[in-house]
Amino acid sequence: MKSSIRISRRAAVAVALGSVLALTATACGDDGTEGGNGAEGSGKGEITFWDNNGGVRTDIWKQIIADFEREYPDITVHYVGIPAASAQSKYDTAIQGGGLPDVGGVGTAMLAGLAAQGALEPLDDRLADSPLHGHLSENLLQVSKAAGGGDALYQIPTSANNGTLWYRTDLFRKAGLDAPTTWSRFYEAAEKLTDPGRNAFGFTIRGGEGSIAPALDAVYGQTGITSFWNGDKTTVNDPRNVKALEKYVALYKKNTPSADVNNDFTKMVAQWDSGTIGMLSHNLGSYQDHLKALGKDKFRGIPNPTLEDGRRVQVSNPVDGLSLFRTSKNKAAAWKFIEFAASHEENSKFNESAGQVPANTDAAKDAWIQSSEPTRLAAEALNGGSTTIVQLPYYLPDWNTISKADNEPNFQKLLLGKITAKQFLDTLADQLNKAQAEWKQRKG
Amino acid sequence: MITEIAPAPGRAAAEPARPRGRRRRAWDQVPRWQIYLPLSLYLLFTLIPFYWILLFALRPAGSTSLVPWPLTFEHFEKVWIDRSFGVYFRNSVLVGVSTLVLTTLVALAGGYALARFDFRAKRGFMLALLCSQFVPGALLLVPLFQIFASLKMINSLGSVIIAETVFQLPLSMILISGFIRNVPPSLEEAAWVDGCGRLAAFRIVVLPLLRPGLVAVGSFAFVHAWNHFLFALMFLSEQGKQTIPVGLNTLMSADSVDLGALAAGGIVAAVPVVIVFAFIQKWLITGFSAGAVKG
């Protein structure tokens, strides 16, 4: 009896431990890393495409894929929609763990990181031999190349976004104000449209996640400084920029809701769409939200205000595009898909749906752009001679950390008056200068 | 005005007389509004976000009305049909229920071993279980990804179910072992004397007494698997395989958010959890308090 109890005890312990260890064993195991340089492939078969803005763009991508599969019946594209906020981590995990796609949607903000990890295939030669050559915006190609580190082209641009000043035409009309086309008109309108007693404000400022780029846009736009670098040092803490930032953040609480300190774009857009706020600085991406909430007659979207002399200076906005992954086993088919998606007809279709500026120069001339005022004005601003773009250093591998984790909390401190504009910009400049020096050293 | 609340006659007769000290009297003499007002304020504070979600989900797009009128279900239709939430819902149910069943079964076996047997590595094993709770899931993403890739399980709901189960097991096992320890071994021994084997004695005598514990552990596993985003995002790619938390995230693009659809999606995601908690709250509270006594 005693021995049978002992045996059954042992058996029970063994079964219990075995089952637990079998499951916990998944936390330590073999190396399944998918590495290597992939292969050109036959140009037929299956490819996988990761959409870095899945959900909202799913329908249009599925249309493009259907068109592609009609054109190339021997290639099948597997679509994977990834939530925009998680795209970077999904790519990073796949780089480490394997399972990268053949083609992926990659914005300039994550291009440097992916290129630095050796995940992307250079596309310069493929583009030179492609029918796309000469039909993509040179400006955007330059941005793409610079964002990938400057040595090679790692992204075929598909769309450009642009900083847009959305304003409520009904409120402006009522107050007898002109459109905020210059910075002085912008500040005047912010002041006149504010009436805290009626919960009406002239402007809503982005104080939470994503606050740094809009703040820099406002700063460079007001001072007219046209370059982010002066030699090896950034111009971000130039005394003129400090003064401009002081003026901009002084709007907080005076002409903006006090809750703006926590504004990410979601809150900011929702607040503007449902309240009585005169102006909102965002990009073209929120056009459909405004249209649904306000109807087409109550608002307009114009490029950032100009200086009094008519010059417009703005910081570069992220450029979205498609990249070919080095580990692809079917690069020929993957490239055909990229070429097809960036072609005149498909690029036009995509950008009309997304409300963005097409990278394909033929698509940029299509009729729909003329009827979509914010996109048309953005396209004119991007390609017009009076606009100077200050290129933000997306190529720095540390850019995302510096512009998000390191300095977004500081911007909130600045809004709350806990640090000065000079302290904020000096800290930012110090980090950028170090990152730039490190990047140059690494590049040799 | 101070109101004296007299005890109900029936209840007063049934309950034994309790010593009513000064503190107890003082508590009874607190005006009701001093209790209900803060509770109501707290409730208001808690419920306003829920009202906000309902409002956005039920009023038409573009409306600024503070009441959901005219009532519309367009956002629910959009997320359920256009945004494939019907599919995500089915996948989430599959992942949640499978995780619940697997976690409960394995935790029962492991918990029984920990509660009833002494073996050499027991203390070390318990310590390892506890320590595993300090490891965030994100840290193990890459090795898990590699293992599932080599098992050809990427893009299979099985990978998410296994990963969720693995992460639920340590705490579940510790909890279950606490419940089993509370059941006197003499009950099992009596069943053995009556001719039951160990398994039959466990099934007939011990298992019914573990109901609160099983409910606590099972519901915890289900809710965690239902809400968990990371594993589903990383291990599943095909749209037809994704779960509700991933679906919710796809409603927010880089520059634009459809708040009506997001609110409707949030309600679809929350309803099963609320229903589960509504049904099991009695056992859940008993379960957690009983399991918390001994570990």
CATH of the domain at A429: 3.40.190.10
Q: Count interface pairs A-B at CB distance under 8 A.
A: 158
Q: What pLDDT score was predicted for residue A30?
A: 33
Flag the least confident range among A201-205, B240-244, B284-288.
B284-288
Q: Residue B2: inside a domain, yes or no?
A: no
Q: Are residues B163 and B108 in the same domain?
A: yes
- Cα nearest neighbour of A62 on chain B: B239
Last residue of a domain, one of A365, A385, A405: A385
With beta carbons under 8 A apart, name residues in chain B contacting A83: 233, 246, 249-250, 252
Cα–Cα dist A14/A214, whole Å: 61
Mean pLDDT, all residues of chain A: 89
Domain that holds residue B96: 83-293
Other C-beta atoms lying within 10 Å of the C-beta of residue B205: 18
Contacts of B83 in chain A (CB under 8 A): 55
Structurally, chain A folds into a number of domains equal to 2
Residue B5 has pLDDT above 70, yes or no: no
Are residue A86 and residue A174 in the same domain, yes or no? no
Same domain, yes or no: A325 and A414: no
What are A161-177's pLDDT values in tens digits? 899 999 999 999 999 99
- Residues B65 and B89 placed together within one structural domain of the fold: no
Q: Average per-residue pLDDT in chain B?
A: 86
Residue position matching structure tokens 């292969």: A39
CATH, residue B159: 1.10.3720.10
* Residue that terminates a domain, selected from A385, A400, A428: A385
The pTM of the full predicted model, rounded to 2 decimals, is 0.81
Write down the pLDDT at residue A144.
Answer: 92
Segment A320-326 shows an average pLDDT of 97
The predicted pLDDT at position B289 comes to: 63
- State the pLDDT confidence band at A7, using cuts at 50, 70 and 90: very low
Q: Which of B223, B214, B222 is nearest to B173 (CA)?
A: B214
Residue A9 inside a domain? The answer is no
- In this structure, is residue A279 part of a structural domain? yes
Beta carbons within 10 angstroms of residue B187's beta carbon: 12
Work out the minimum CA distance from B233 to partner chain A, whole angstroms.
8
- Are A224 and A293 part of one and the same domain? yes
A55 with B83: Cβ contact below 8 A: yes
Which of A15-24, A150-159, A244-253 is least confident? Answer: A15-24
Q: Do residue B130 and residue B168 come from a single domain? A: yes
Residue A374 shares a structural domain with residue A433: no
- Are residues B119 and B185 both part of a single domain? yes
Residue B10 lies in a domain: no
Tokens at A303, concatenated: 């490029």
Residue A4 counted as domain residue = no
Asked if A339 and A398 sit in the same domain, the reply is no
Q: Domain for residue A23, yes or no?
A: no
- Residue B13 vs residue A306, higher pLDDT: A306
**Rounded mean pLDDT, B11-31:** 60
Does the residue B287 lie in any domain? Answer: yes
Within this chain, do residues A151 and A200 fall inside the same structural domain, yes or no? no
Q: Which residues share a beta bridge with A156?
A: A322
Residues sharing a CB contact under 8 Å with residue A38, sequence separation 6 or more, in sequence order:
A121, A325, A326, A327, A328, A329, A331
Is residue B66 domain-shared with residue B141, that is, in the same domain? Answer: no
A1: amino acid identity, one letter: M
Per-residue pLDDT, B25: 66
Q: Which domain holds residue A242?
A: 163-317+390-443
pLDDT tens-place string over residues B96-131: 999 999 999 999 999 999 999 998 889 899 999 989
Look at residue A268 in the predicted model and tell me its pLDDT: 93
Task: Kindly identify which residue of chain B lies nearest to residue A318, measuring between CA atoms.
Answer: B254
**Pair B29, B166 in one domain:** no
If asked whether residues B128 and B208 sit together in one domain, one would say yes
What whole-number distance in Å separates Cα of residue B277 and Cα of residue A192? 51
Q: Answer yes or no: do A277 and A326 share one domain.
A: no
- Residue A17: what pLDDT? 47
Residue range B208-233: mean pLDDT, rounded: 92
Confirm whether B6 is domain-assigned.
no
Closest C-alpha among B105, B222, B181 to residue A23: B105
The 10s digit of each residue's pLDDT in B178-193 is 999 999 999 999 999 9
d(CA A302, CA B214): 60
Using the 3D structure, point to which of B72, B96, B112 is the last residue of a domain: B72
* A294 shares its domain with A333: no
Q: Judge whether A203 and A190 are in contact, CB under 8 Å.
A: yes
Is residue B9 included in any domain, yes or no? no
Beta carbons of A85 and B113 less than 8 Å apart: no
**Residue B209 to residue B188: CA distance in whole angstroms:** 12
